[in-house]
Amino acid sequence: MKILQIVEESPSLDFTLPVFNELDNDTKIIILCSRPSYSYWFDHDPSKLLPKEKPNILFLDLISISQFRGLLKKLILKFTKKNRNNTNNFFTKSLRIIFTNILEKNFDFSLVLNSFDDEPIDLVLIDSRDDLRTNKIFKEVFDYIHTNNIKTIAVPVSTYVREGVEISVKPFNRSKNNTYPFNLLPSNFEFWTTTNQPNYFQQLNKQEYRMVGYSGLDKIWLDNFTKNKKSVNELNILLNIKHFTKNLKIQTNPGPYASEEVFEFFLNLKKLELTFPDYKFNFVLKPHYYMNFKVLTELLVESKINNFRILRTSIYRAIENIDLVIGLHTSVNIICSAASIPTILYPETQMGIIGSTDPKTIEMYSSHPGFSDNVDHFYNLFQNCLDSDFRNNLGIKSSKWCKQYFETNVLKEITKVLKT
């Protein structure tokens, strides 16, 4: 069996890699990044996202399959490896756009097929969100899908998507470009989701729709990363943060945070350092992949937090050897909870904004054992977590909470579906 995954945004890998890790070596898999390089999202080789390298999984990106050579490839990588919000410099932004366009226009899908030894592809996986750009890459891929009637699956990009909110589920369709092949879905198409999404079902009409759960919550996969760490007065604390913007002054809609709120969050963490001087807190930040890392670092330095490091990696690599998780509103907190890592949900504006239109989401998160509805409550929870027995108990409760809302043993069923 031969599987091709087209990755437009990295969160889809959080769903597919647990599945690919369980497929035997007879299944050949190519994961093609439609960005210039995986460095757009990660500080390491993408194969390091797996517990161990698998010879049947090949990671390709636009630079690796381009016909450019040596120094030119290095130059292109230099100016394209940062993500779209990672620099405010006009010159570097312009170069990134120019080099990305050059790579896209020189894309040759036959080079991808050559990696499959020119044998037919059995299955294509794409991102389920309407993020796909109308460029030469996707035109060639979609032409191939349509011409050969390839089974195509839109895979989840998030653990949980709010119900009751209409989000486009036409990944091939762009309202401003209604020309073939971007104006239709493949004839052999299936849309996957993690939980029941009534509005998705309505929007898809007669297209096949399958609820599969989330493979990244499966214990088989999580056990590869959650290592035991014994500590007394030193805690490794993972911080899950969505992206934010300096331009946002008043937050009234779900989306990025205002930078002022993120800065206040850091100041409260600094207050914890001062309140508990007998402890050493190592803050590990796993930011959203859209993050402006330059501004993030500036805020951290300004807050005067003592020990922090920023990880550009997957959530699974980020949870290794972590004692405690503190998360602003983001679905990766669900993964940490499923991994039995004690998780505190920091009080922030997003939850109230979302709760005003989506009672199911607010009910789900407010029932989390680490939910805090104000900063004083957060301080009390954190202080209790300095006790290892309390942390262990919170980790168990976090896992039980997750199982109330999400299926956590889905890997075997998902791999079975892919093989049929």
* Cβ-based neighbour number of residue 254 at 10 Å: 17
Q: What is the CATH number of the domain that holds 379?
A: 3.40.50.2000
DSSP result, 204-228: HTTSEEEE---GGG-HHHHTTT---
Q: Are residues 136 and 157 in the same domain?
A: yes
| Domain edge (last residue) among 155, 181, 212 | 212
Q: Are residues 64 and 135 in the same domain?
A: yes
Q: Are residues 157 and 230 in the same domain?
A: no
The strand ranges marked E within 230-291 are 234-241, 244-245, 257-258, 280-287
The overall pTM is greater than 0.95: no
Q: Does residue 194 sit within a domain?
A: yes
Q: Are residues 53 and 109 in the same domain?
A: yes
Q: Does residue 242 sit within a domain?
A: yes
Question: What residues have CB less than 8 Å from 141, skipping those under 6 apart?
Answer: 6, 109, 124
Q: Are residues 162 and 238 in the same domain?
A: no
Query: Can you say how many angstroms the Cα of residue 73 is from the centroid of all Cα atoms in its chain?
Result: 27
Q: Range of 388's domain?
A: 220-405
**What's the DSSP call for residue 188?**
T
Q: Are residues 348 and 375 in the same domain?
A: yes
pLDDT digits (tens, 9 = 90+) for 356-377: 777 888 889 999 999 999 999 9
Q: What is the CATH number of the domain that holds 202?
A: 3.40.50
| Domain edge (last residue) among 178, 212, 246 | 212
**What's the DSSP call for residue 166?**
-
| Domain edge (last residue) among 192, 212, 232 | 212
Q: Are residues 227 and 205 in the same domain?
A: no
CA distance 420 to 412: 13
Q: Are residues 249 and 173 in the same domain?
A: no
pLDDT digits (tens, 9 = 90+) for 79-127: 887 665 556 677 878 888 899 999 999 999 999 999 888 788 999 999 8
Q: Does residue 418 sit within a domain?
A: no
Q: Are residues 243 and 127 in the same domain?
A: no
CB contact at 8 A, 217 and 319: no
pLDDT digits (tens, 9 = 90+) for 264-282: 999 999 999 999 999 999 9
Nearest to 29 by CA among 43, 18, 42: 18
CB contact at 8 A, 130 and 173: yes
Q: Are residues 136 and 8 in the same domain?
A: yes
Number of domains present in the structure of the chain: 2
Q: Does residue 392 sit within a domain?
A: yes
Q: Are residues 44 and 85 in the same domain?
A: yes
Name 281's bridge partners: 235
Q: Does residue 414 sit within a domain?
A: no
* Cβ-based neighbour number of residue 247 at 10 Å: 8
In order along the chain (420 residues), what is the average pLDDT of each group of 10 residues?
93 96 94 93 94 94 91 88 64 86 93 86 89 85 92 92 70 67 84 83 74 95 84 91 77 78 94 96 88 86 94 94 92 95 92 77 92 95 96 96 94 90
Q: Does residue 142 sit within a domain?
A: yes
Q: Are residues 194 and 333 in the same domain?
A: no
